[in-house]
Amino acid sequence: MTTFSRSPTPAITVFPTHKLSPINRKIYSGFLEHLGRCIYTGIYDPTNPNKSLIDERGFRRDVLAALKPLDIPVMRYPGGNFCATYHWKDGIGPRASRPARCDLAWGNVETNHFGTDEFMEWVTELGAEPFLCLNFGTGDLDEALHWLEYCNGTEDTYWANQRRRNGHPEPYNVKYWGLGNEVWGPWQINQMKKEDYAERAIQWAKAFKLQDPNVELILCGKEGATGWDLHVIKECVLPQAKDGLGQEALNLVDMVSIHGYTASEEHYENATAPLGNERAIEVCTGLIDLAFAENGLLVDQKKPKICFDEWNVWSWERAPGSKGGEETYTLSDALAVATWLNVLVRQSANVEMACIAQSVNVISPLMTSVDGITRQTTWWPYELFCRFMRGHLVAVNLASEVYEGPTKPAWIRAVRETPFMDVSATLDEDGCLTMCVVNYHLEEEMETILTGAQGIVSVYSITGEHHRVTNMEGKQEVEVKEAEWDSSKGVFVFPKCSVTFLRWKTA
Q: 343 to 372, contacts with ligand AHR by CB under 6 A?
A: 357-358
Q: 174 to 193, contacts with ligand AHR by CB under 6 A?
A: 181-182
Distance CA 151, CA 397 (A): 47
Q: Which of 418, 389, 147 is nearest to 273 (CA)?
A: 418
The piece of 78-86, 92-100, 113-121, 447-455 that touches ligand AHR (CB under 6 A) is 78-86
For ligand AHR, the binding residue among 212, 310, 383, 422 (CB under 6 A) is: 310
Q: 25 to 44, contacts with ligand AHR by CB under 6 A?
A: 33
Output the smallest distance, CB 28 to ligand AHR, in A: 17
Q: Which is nearer to ligand AHR, 80 or 153 (CB)?
A: 80
The piece of 39-47, 79-87, 195-203, 370-378 that touches ligand AHR (CB under 6 A) is 79-87
Q: Which of 422, 410, 396, 284 is nearest to 340 (CA)?
A: 422
Output the smallest distance, CB 35 to ligand AHR, in A: 6
Q: Which is nearer to ligand AHR, 252 or 357 (CB)?
A: 357
Number of Cβ within 10 Å of residue 477's Cβ equals 14
Output the smallest distance, CB 77 to ligand AHR, in A: 12
Task: Point out which residues pair with 256 in neighbouring strands.
Answer: 219, 306
Catalytic amino acids?
Answer: 182, 310
Q: 93 to 132, contacts with ligand AHR by CB under 6 A?
A: none
Confirm if 24 and 352 have CB atoms less than 8 A apart: yes
Output the smallest distance, CB 182 to ligand AHR, in A: 5
Confirm if 396 and 453 have CB atoms less than 8 A apart: no
Output the smallest distance, CB 181 to ligand AHR, in A: 5
Q: Are strands 446-451 and 11-22 parallel, antiparallel or unpaired?
A: parallel
Number of Cβ within 10 Å of residue 175's Cβ equals 18
Long-range pairs for 150-158 at CB < 8 Å and ≥24 separation?
A: 150/88, 150/92, 150/116, 151/116, 151/120, 152/212, 152/214, 152/215
Q: 143 to 172, contacts with ligand AHR by CB under 6 A?
A: none
309 lies in the site for ligand AHR, by CB under 6 A: no
Which residue sits closest to ligand AHR, CB atoms considered? 80
CA dihedral 123, 31, 96, 162 (to 10 degrees): 60
Proportion of the chain in helix, strand, coil states, percent, rounded to 5: 30, 30, 40
- Residues of this chain that interact with ligand AHR (CB under 6 A) are 33, 79-81, 181-182, 310, 321, 357-358
